Amino acid sequence: MDSLPKLTKISVVESVLNKFLVIGYGNLLFVRMVLKKKLSELFSIMTGLNLRPEKNGDIIYLQSQNFDENGILKSKLMPEVSRMNVNEQYILRPDDIIFAAKGSKNFAALFEKRNDPAVPSTTFFILRKKSHNVNLKSEFVVWYLNQTQTQIKLKKYITGSSIQSLTKKELGNIYISIPEFKIQELILKIETKIKELNQLNSKLTNLRNKFNQQKFNLQKLSIKVID
């Protein structure tokens, strides 16, 4: 049972981090320019809140320990804080981005319409898209911020010895390369396919390991029977 080839970022995806985008189609090669803007020009940036969990809460309180290193929730969360104690502007809205600015895990994650009402802790910055940026997908910005090249840039501005953190100003000064809307959608589709195929590859590897283990156990059993 052969594994699928391990997929990496392809040129269509990686080149967005530069000033141009290269698109291959058959024997043709298209070069499209991308727009570069500071994150603070695209989003308003707010710091999350320092709240105490309550027994009878009605909204979720997001903390860094709730997420894995890839910015994925580890488990379903229960409401821990009361909405009455939270200023409405800090309650996450669909398309908001949370960015973990403290600690070793500096990931971005998208808040979607299907998510339960939530407010982030001070570990996070809230990135709320400015109204004039209608041709920018927040999901694309999440992808961009989580790219290795972007993460390397961000690490240069992180300060602190005991608790490492990134300031709102430094995050806002990061430049985002923005291709046209259709290209943003294309990149996200490619990224989704890469994840799906790598997950399939992981499943195939696990099945192969189980098969080899069973084969080894049978061989040991046959040796004992012969003895």
Ordered by where they begin, the domains of the chain are 1-34+179-227 (no CATH), 37-166 (3.90.220.20)
Chain segment 149-161, per-residue pLDDT in tens: 899 999 899 887 7
pLDDT at 123 over 90: yes
Is this structure's pTM higher than 0.85?
no
185/209 Cα distance (integer angstroms): 36
Q: Report the alpha-carbon distance of residue 65 to residue 80 in Å, rounded.
A: 15
Query: Does the structure show a pLDDT above 90 at 206?
Result: no
pLDDT at 45: 97
Q: Once rounded to an integer, what is the mean pLDDT over residues 173-194?
A: 90
Mean pLDDT of 153-182: 89
Percent of residues, the chain, with pLDDT higher than 90: 37
Is 139 a residue whose pLDDT tops 60?
Answer: yes
**pLDDT tens per residue, range 12-28:** 444 555 545 554 444 44
- Burial of 123-149, coded b for 16+ CB within 10 Å and e otherwise, reads bbbbbbbeeeeeebbbbbbbbbbbbee
Distance of CA 188 to the CA centre of its chain: 12
Give the integer Cα–Cα distance in Å for 127 and 80.
22
Flag whether pLDDT at 3 surpasses 50. no
Given this model, what pLDDT does residue 101 score? Answer: 93
pLDDT-based confidence at residue 223 (cuts at 50, 70, 90): low
Average pLDDT over residues 120-141: 93
Strand partners, 22: 31
Better-scored residue on pLDDT, 1 or 199:
199
Task: Kindly state the average pLDDT of the residues 43-54.
Answer: 93
pLDDT tens, residue by residue, 49-104: 999 888 888 999 999 888 887 788 888 888 889 998 899 999 999 999 999 999 88
